[in-house]
Amino acid sequence: MIGALMLDIAGTQLTQEDIELLQAPQVGGVILFGRNIESPAQVRALTDHMRQIRPDILIAVDQEGGRVQRLKQGFTLLPAMGCFGELYQAEPERALELAEKCGWLMATEVLAVGIDFSFAPVLDLNDISDVIGDRSFAKSIQDIIPLASAFLKGMKRAGMASTGKHFPGHGSVKADSHVAAAVDTRSYEEIQQKDMQTFIQLQPQLDALMPAHVIYSQVDPNPAGFSEFWIQKVLRQELGFDGVLFSDDLSMQAACVAGGADARIQAALNAGCDMGLVCNDRVAQCVALEGIVDLPLPNQERLERMRGRIPEIEVGEVLDLGDEWCQVRDEITAFKNQFA
């Protein structure tokens, strides 16, 4: 069974404390960071060990491309998604072809080392946000939708579920919600007609969403990830979204409005999130786990859809995933270097 808490670990292998935590029924996932990565072989050994301890665990990573990618040593360094938006202005067909290949390449490498999914893609607009920028495909909805759709097709072709973030849109909010409270003062109508459109139009291709740690103050006093209005009324009822909802990291500064780690994960789950992330703080993870120990387990059928098509292969210190992988890797690397 899959629990409602996703946490992280400190090193490149499991400690005894990690092993005991993974066995807690309400732990459902592990997210890997750069400090957990030494080589493809080491990552695959780590994820295999996690599954020996907890066969049903979901393992995730942030492998967006550009400045947000945790798997580097021995993996393809991916371009920022904004590079595809730049190319799209001049060569739209080539941009779409490369975006699809990049989605496939990212997913193929992540799955090869035993990780179920990357929290990708970013569907925010590249507007005024300090934290989004070229993590976004483009500045306009009209450009983001075809590019993200192509990237999503590539992920799916490789066997990976997708997570669109950060609903209903973080791009029009300047503050970085990792380090500050982020507030968007626009009306629901403005948000719905602008930032939300990427999520609405790409919804049929999305397996999961991650709500933003942003307070849309004209709509609801709570950040979207703690808001029954955004999660229950808008996402579940009005849009009919039946995918997984992951909270953004509950250790981020913008999540502090809900109180301690136990109050934060309770707020996220009570609002309708399926799984809460608590990262980079073992004490907070234990407090959060204690806070949900008596809650029912989340929707199992929904969470099972996030399980990746992980190949049964031997992984070496350097990846070697076949002819198509070699060809696409070289093509994407050349494209990235073009924009360097």
DSSP 246: E
Taking alpha carbons only, the member of 182, 275, 188 closest to residue 238 is 188
Q: Are strands 5-7 and 275-277 parallel, antiparallel or unpaired?
A: parallel
Which amino acid, 96? L
How far is the C-alpha of 174 from the C-alpha of 186, rounded, in Å?
A: 13
Q: 189-193, long-range: CB within 8 Å, 24+ apart, which pairs?
A: 191/216, 191/219, 192/168
Q: How far apart are the first and last CA of the chain?
A: 44
State how far the alpha carbon of 120 is from the alpha carbons of 58, 106, 204, 247, 281, in Å.
Answer: 15, 10, 15, 14, 23
Q: Give the DSSP letter string of 188-244.
A: HHHHHHTTHHHHHHHGGG-SEEEE-S-EETTT-SSBGGG-HIIIIIIIIIIS---SE
CA 169-75-131 angle, to 5 degrees, is 25
How far is the C-alpha of 22 from the C-alpha of 44, rounded, in Å?
A: 17
Return the bridge partners of 27, or none.
5
Assigned token pair, 176: 């970085």
Active-site positions read 178, 248
